[in-house]
Structure 1
Amino acid sequence: MIIMKKFNRVAALTALGTLALFLSGCVRTNSHGKPVGYIWTYLGQPMVHFMEWAAKMLGGSYGWAIILLTVVVRLVLLPLMVRQSRQATVQQEKMSMIRPQMQDIQARQKAAQTTEEKNTISQEMMQLYRDNGISMTGGIGCLPLVIQLPIFAALYAAIRYAPELVNATFYGIRLDQPKLLLAILSFAAYLLQGYLSLLGLPEDQKKQMRSMMIMSPVMILFVTFSTPAALGLYFFVGGLFACIQTLIIAWYRPRIRKQVAAELKEQAANRPAPKPVAATTVTPEDLKPATPSSAAPTTDDNHKRNAGKQQHHKD
């Protein structure tokens, strides 16, 4: 279970890490230096039109236009992200409630000597997951990040190639150039979100998640430091939304814990009991000592019979 969680987190961070490389090469330019290609046609130009419209609505500020874009995207994704966070929380609570059984199985797996024993115990662990409705992926998904990749590409193309946005500033910050301040703010926002995600967790789960909590902020720091400040602003505002989302889940966690406990109790009550082993019925006659007639001949009897046969043969 923990391995699958780490795998999903690494997959998400890998996608985020390759974002800068993807964005830097997804838009081509012609001989006149103008952007061409399907990324620019279907993503970049619509983003430019949106940014121009939003900037006019917000007093000509492209920075506030980016913030508006972030708010719209996050509000659209909020139900999906809250749902995924709730699923992950349910899985965490279920894992916490069956931890004694898991620790027993893990101890027996470590003590197993043969491959057959280890495979049998592994099957027992998987059956424990199935009986309690625990997913091997832990309810963690990368869909919100995948959905945002076109937004990243469009914003990057617009801020890099659109003449109206190349020289845009936001409180003195050039939006077309990397900015360390926004990279640090984005790092801090997602680090805070990781800390808030530990609220209400058992200590053993906190120890397991602390090592992963720093990975996502570090990767976001790398991406925002190597891309235009417009993306850094997008990540920073998105990190604040992520903190709000995490607080919503933390507020619902006690209710989720009660629901999980009731669900597991109902599953245990409806689970068929194991079949009893058939016992052998012992009658009073079975307890009586064996009679000489029914007893097997002893060694002395056999010796006497053999001696008699030898004497008859001599006669």
Structure 2
Amino acid sequence: DDTKGVMKLSLDDNGILGNRFVGQENTIQSGTQKRFAYEIFFGPKSTQILNDVGHDLGKGIDFGMFDIIAKPLLWFMNFVYSHIPNYGIAIIVLTILTKILLWPLGSKSYKSMSEMKKLQPLMAEIREKYKDDKKMMNQEIMSLYRTYKINPMGGCLPMILQIPVFFALYRMLYQAIELRHAPFFLWINDLSAPDRLFHFSFSIPFMQPPYGIPVLTVIMGATMLLQQKMSPPPGDPTQAKMMMLMPIVFTVIFINFSSGLVLYWLINNILSIAQQTYIQKKYA
């Protein structure tokens, strides 16, 4: 169709935004005339607005390989917002719904972790007894698993199955134009911007401007630390040290993410801690 084209935006070195229109290739015969008419849409990439405009513009919203999961999540978030006009609350409700849907997988994973945690004293004895013989140590540990009928990888598969949903949520919240300038409560007045309490004139390492106290992100890091302490430590000391650093690493990374995304991760951590506590008490 020679009446369709693509708008391409570019940012030059001076920070000036350029815009160019690329249409389909056409051949005009010598001595003839041809007229082209186009309708150009300038506006936010909102699903509702684009669908109202028509011309299949709604297809312009693309969440990549997680599109099939992300779009229903976006629809549900907007549905909640239509009844409770606060996108922060909509994110919380969406996170709770996701956790409910994934509850069976999470429970299976936490049950496996709980069983592994019970074996930690016995595994510590084996590691101490065979610390100079790695082969025998591994054989004894595998024998221990067989005796108690525990699959050491039993907690991994349920977690792996949840990864596509987590990435779809991340991609959706990262791209959603609906969160732009959307307030939540107190100091969070823009869910698309990083979480900052107060604004400082000086720079902070690893933090992109504006500079301030990332309260929500720090709380999120604390929940990650608590969740880690509830899980059995890896058998390898090197891996155990690396896992101890994960909450710090994630906190540093998330200080520059949108507060909407941090809010999702925080609520998900809190719900995961509650679920893990319930499972551990149930199978204690």
Do both share a fold (TM > 0.5)?
Answer: yes
Aligned residues: 207
Corresponding residue for 2:151? 135
In the TM superposition, residue 210 of structure 1 has moved relative to its aligned partner by: 7.0
Q: Deviations over 1:220-271 (max 9, x none)?
A: 31343222111011111112112212321332353xxxxxxxxxxxxxxxxx
Tell me if the contact between 1:105 and 1:125 (Cα under 8 Å) persists in the aligned partners: no
Residue 255 of structure 2 is matched in structure 1 by 225
- Residues 1:211 and 1:248: Cα distance change in structure 2 (over 3 Å): farther
Partner residue of 1:178 out of 179, 187, 194: 194
**Residue 122 (structure 1) shift:** 5.1
> Given the alignment of the two structures, is residue 168 of structure 1 paired with residue 166 of structure 2, yes or no?
no
The Cα shift of 1:138 comes to 6.4
| 1:149-164 equivalent positions in 2, closer than 5 A | 149-158=167-176, 162=177, 164=178
Deviation of 1:86 (Å)? 0.9
Please tell me the residue identity of whatever aligns with 2:109. Answer: Q
Equivalent position amino acid for 2:165 in 1:
I
Letter in 2 for 1:89: S
Partner of 1:52: 78
The structure number with the bigger radius of gyration is 1
Name the SS of the counterpart of 1:135 in structure 2: coil
Which runs of structure 2 are paired with 1:1-315 in the superposition (5 Å)?
36=60, 38-39=62-63, 42=68, 45-58=71-84, 60-97=85-122, 99-101=124-126, 103-107=128-132, 109=133, 123=139, 126-137=142-153, 139-141=155-157, 142-143=159-160, 144-158=162-176, 162=177, 164-171=178-185, 172-179=188-195, 180-195=214-229, 197=230, 211=241, 214-254=244-284
Which residue type is aligned with residue 181 of structure 1? Answer: V
Amino acid at match of 1:153: R
Question: Deviation of residue 106 (structure 1)?
Answer: 3.8
Q: Is the 2:223–2:270 Cα contact (8 Å) retained in structure 1?
A: yes
Q: Quick check: which one's helix share is greater?
A: 1
- Aligned-residue identity in percent: 23
With a CA cutoff of 8 Å and minimum separation of 6, indicate the structure with the bigger relative contact order: 1
Contact 2:70 2:168 in 1 (8 A): no
Q: Distance in 1 between matches of 2:138 and 2:240?
A: 27
TM-score by length of 2: 0.59
Cα pair 1:85 1:249 within 8 Å, conserved: yes
Equivalent position amino acid for 2:215 in 1: L
SS of residue paired to 2:119: helix
| Partner SS state of residue 215, structure 1 | helix
Moved runs in structure 1, 4+ residues, more than 6 A? 207-210
The TM-score with structure 1 as length reference comes to 0.54
Shift of 1:105: 3.8
For residue 174 of structure 1, report the CA deviation from its aligned partner: 0.7
Say whether the 8 Å CA contact 2:111–2:280 is kept in structure 1. Answer: no
Name stretches of at least 5 consecutive residues in structure 2 with no aligned partner: 1-18, 22-41, 46-59, 196-213
Gap change, CA 1:43 and 1:82, over 3 Å in 2: closer
Contact 1:91 1:138 in 2 (8 A): no
Task: Look up the SS of the partner of 1:81 in the other structure.
Answer: helix
Give distance in 2, aligned partners of 1:235 and 1:154. 13
Displacement of 1:61 after TM fit?
A: 0.9
Letter in 2 for 1:75: I
Gaps of 5+ in 1: 1-28, 111-117, 255-315
